[in-house]
Amino acid sequence: MVNTRSQKTKGEAQKGRKAADGSNQPSRKPSVHLTAEEYEAYQSHCNRMSITRTGYAPDPDTVIRNYDYLNTKVKTWTEKYICEDMPSLSENQKQKIIQGLDTFCIQEPWDTIQALLSPESRDQFHLYLCEAMVNKLIFTQFLERPFWFLDGKLDENDETGDPSFAERLHYLYQRYHEASPVSAIWWRMVTLGLANLKEGLDENRKRQANIAEHLADHLLEDSLFQLFLEELAGAEEDTRRRRLIGVLQAGAQYLTAHELALGGQVRVHQLPELKQFDPATGIMFSGRVHQKERKNTPPLIPKPHGRVILVLRPGVYRYELPNRFVPYDRHISAVELPGNTDSYLVCKAEVMVEAVKASNSSDASQPDPEDEDISFQRYWG
């Protein structure tokens, strides 16, 4: 599951004292006593600072909370602005919607999917499709493309830059990673850290905000997505747009910051990996609709090992984290040690699955404790 590592960052200071006999012997200077663990952490930090001019302090708690906040923002927007009832769709539109959610929705005919859903899930399926659409946009654009906001300009006179620069730089990173994973991960972290300095490089932050705004407009203009939107006009329509821009800008900010808060490699949990519903794997939990179904008469529960139908939000696992910096003057065979990496599951995949009638009331009232997101288990469970 989730690994945590605590380190003491301050030694205990002890003040000297004058001799009891009142002699003129000078008092001892304050001293700092470090444990072996504290000394190793301090030396590691100094090494990091000397080579990269930056420290590395993994902050999984902030990353986990960010994913929870972002999930709430996406759900709030879709619940407010997606139409209440399923619109009438042509067979061609149904097919295109399912195809557009590849790796998020099972690639089956619309009627086959509907037959797998419970009545309540079927009634609100359009809402969850839109939630998946928004999340797919966020995770694809901002998580799977770490250099997404860099423009690749040649000089100050270059106004357009290189649209493929982010992909080219990511490919270069992958080649570096094949040669030296530790060095490549640090190279990526330092590159993104410099590109997100709080002072200077305002152009990058403006570009991040502008790209998020452009993506929001592109989604709102998508003919298939428009089928599910409430009919609005004037100020209400503008408010809907601004709030979606806010959701995507939050996603861009969080997922870019996570490259510095944790770094490492990223594995995204989605279809086809999440083929069967099994909370015991520790990488998935059932969506909110299944919590409501537990209160039905008769109560419904997610079918154990039932088919995952829709991924509302993918899971994220970060690994090969640079928890310890290895000085650059060591030979590569000594650098690439498996003990120098760690991993964190920062959010579970939220999924819609087949539902069945609960065999007894306790099954409905006492869900599997593993059937919760990381944030709930960590802070409320």
Asked if residue 294 has pLDDT above 80, the reply is: no
pLDDT band at 370 (very low <50, low <70, confident <90, very high): confident
Asked if residue 51 has pLDDT above 90, the reply is no
Query: Which is more confidently placed, 6 or 96?
Result: 96
The pLDDT value recorded for residue 109 is: 95
What pTM, to 2 d.p., does this model score? 0.80
Residue type, 166: A
Mean pLDDT over residues 146-172, rounded?
90
Position 148 pLDDT exceeds 80: yes
The encoded tokens of residue 105 equal 């929705």
Provide Rg for the chain, Cα atoms.
25
Whether 81 shows a pLDDT value over 90: the answer reads yes
Question: What's the pLDDT score for residue 309?
Answer: 96
pLDDT digits (tens, 9 = 90+) for 32-46: 566 777 777 666 656
Residue 375: the pLDDT is 81
Q: Residue range 353-364: average pLDDT? A: 77
Predicted confidence (pLDDT) at residue 376 exceeds the cutoff of 80: no
Q: Is the pLDDT of residue 129 over 80?
A: yes
Residue 207 has pLDDT above 50, yes or no: yes
